[in-house]
Amino acid sequence: MKGKATSFDIAHYAGVSQSTVSRALRNSPLVNEETRRRVHEIAKKLNYKVDKNASNLRTQQSSTLALLLFEDPTEDESQINPFFLSMLGSITRACAKEGYDLLVSFQSTSSDWHADYEDSHRADGLILLGYGDYIDYQSKLQTLLDNHTKFVCWGATVDNRPDLTVSCDNYGGGVLAAKHLIDMVRTDCAFIGDASDHSPEFFARFKGFRDTLKAKGIEVSDRKMANAISTEDSGYHATRSLIANNVKFNALFAASDLIAIGAIKALQEAGVRVPHDVHVVGFDNIAAAGYVSPSLTTVQQNTTLAGQMLVDNLLTLIRGEAVTSTLLPPKLIIRQSSR
């Protein structure tokens, strides 16, 4: 036997037609039980596997989803945002559970992601994962919509299509962080992240935080805010600039754990004690949050559930059914950095 066995080979050995083999292997009720058993047996002996390309071509679907990861570029390309990695894990498992394969692809935020995975029938739908909105992000999403490409987004919203987004309740997370600091009587708060709508997720976290303090009559002044993207380095430098500007605060809310970790490092280097002098709260609950010293209080996003919802919603869309906007509840994890 040269090359791989085909359904014709099985047909030959079983003494039936290829059509019958195809039906038997898919357990069609049309075939006789005895025939079905014989075909399965021979298939197993020949180590036969259905050719996915032929099958997909005929049925016009691929049983495959594509995960497109958009990342802020970092100096060290091999380091991936741990939060996304965690999502990747849960998405992979969710796909497996639903019997779908997963194609993974990193997209440089600058590059022209043609997102041709679905057009080329490599995948039935796309999962878009990444912070914020990049150059042309919305217009590219619009192209996807125009092409009737099925996709769901994590975090970032799609104009007029809230149903395509699965996201953590970032605003609610910001509220949790603020309430916790109010409980701890630490209301002279700084914020590090991106308080513009350039990065919608970070902005929502900030708004929830700010609004909650405001309700208590406390303002977060512009002086106490610094921009950062979600890397340790960026958080470190943003915090240093606050310190250099002689900004005073007794609590700090970071838009992500990586930022918070960088912030703690900058604070400690400046001789500021955490949590004694400054309470720090992060966002995401990445693994490292439990390892840093002091361990980091943070707002947890349930990545397991998130991955499951992304896959579920996408599959629903692919089936042509409607989905509703999905907002996942955040949860405060209190650790040493704020007590």
Q: Is 237 in a helix, a strand, or coil?
A: helix
* Residue 45 binds DNA (CB under 7 A): no
Q: What tokens appear for 187 in the block?
A: 């209301």
Smallest separation, CB 58 to DNA (Å): 4
Do 100 and 311 form a contact (C-beta atoms < 8 A)? yes
Closer to a second copy at the Cβ: 152 or 261?
261
17 binds DNA per the rule CB under 7 A = yes
What is the rounded distance in angstroms from the CA atom of residue 291 to the CA atom of residue 288? 5
Of DNA, a second copy, none, which one does residue 8 interact with (CB within 5 to 8 Å by kind)?
DNA
Beta-strand ranges (E) seen in the chain are 64-71, 101-108, 125-129, 151-154, 165-168, 189-193, 225-227, 251-254, 279-284, 297-300, 326-328, 331-333
Q: How many Å apart are CA 333 and CA 292, to the nearest integer?
A: 14
What does 327 interact with, of DNA, a second copy, none (CB < 5 to 8 A by kind)?
Answer: none
Residue 73 interaction partner, one of DNA, a second copy, none, beta carbon < 5-8 Å per kind:
none
Q: Which stretch binds a second copy (CB under 8 A): 101-109, 130-138, 203-211, 235-243?
A: 101-109
User: With contact defined as beta carbons under 8 Å apart, do 66 and 122 qualify?
Assistant: yes
Write out the binding residues for a second copy, residues 139-178 only, by CB under 8 A: 147
Please identify, among the stretches 30-38, 246-254, 262-270, 289-297, the one whose residues bind DNA according to the rule CB under 7 A. Answer: 30-38
Residue 181 in contact with a second copy, rule: CB under 8 A: no
Does residue number 64 form part of the binding site for a second copy (CB under 8 A)?
A: yes
User: How many C-beta atoms lie closer than 10 Å to residue 159's C-beta?
Assistant: 10
The DSSP letter of residue 121 is T
Smallest gap, in angstroms, from Cβ of residue 50 to a second copy? 6
Q: Indicate if the alpha-carbon torsion angle 252, 256, 262, 268 is positive or negative.
A: positive
Report residue 238 as tokens: 């943003």
> Which residue among 12, 13, 18, 161 contacts DNA (CB under 7 A)?
18
Q: Which residues of 255-268 are buried (b: 16+ CB within 10 A; e: fewer)?
A: bbbbbbbbbbbbbe
Asked if 26 interacts with a second copy (CB under 8 A), we say no
* Count of residues in contact with DNA, rule CB under 7 A: 30
Q: Name which of residues 232 to 291 contact a second copy (CB under 8 A).
A: 261, 287-288, 291
Distance, in Å, from the CA atom of 180 to the CA atom of 31, rounded to the nearest integer, reads 65
Q: Does 6 bind DNA (CB under 7 A)?
A: yes
Asked if residue 131 lies in contact with residue 200, where contact means CB atoms within 8 angstroms, the answer is no
Nearest to 325 by CA among 156, 181, 187, 211: 156
Comparing CB distances to a second copy, the nearer of 61 and 227 is 61
The entry of a second copy, DNA, none near residue 6 (CB within 5 to 8 angstroms by kind) is: DNA
Q: Is 35 in the site for DNA (CB under 7 A)?
A: yes
In angstroms, the CA 70 to CA 89 distance is 16
Kindly state whether residue 337 participates in binding a second copy, applying the rule CB under 8 A: no
Which residues of the shown chain bind DNA in the complex (CB under 7 A)?
3-4, 6-8, 15-20, 22-23, 25-26, 29-33, 35, 48, 50-51, 54-55, 57-60
Residues at the interface with a second copy (CB under 8 A): 4, 47-54, 56-57, 62, 64, 77-80, 82, 85-86, 88-90, 92-93, 96, 101-106, 114, 116, 119-122, 147, 261, 287-288, 291-293, 303-304, 307
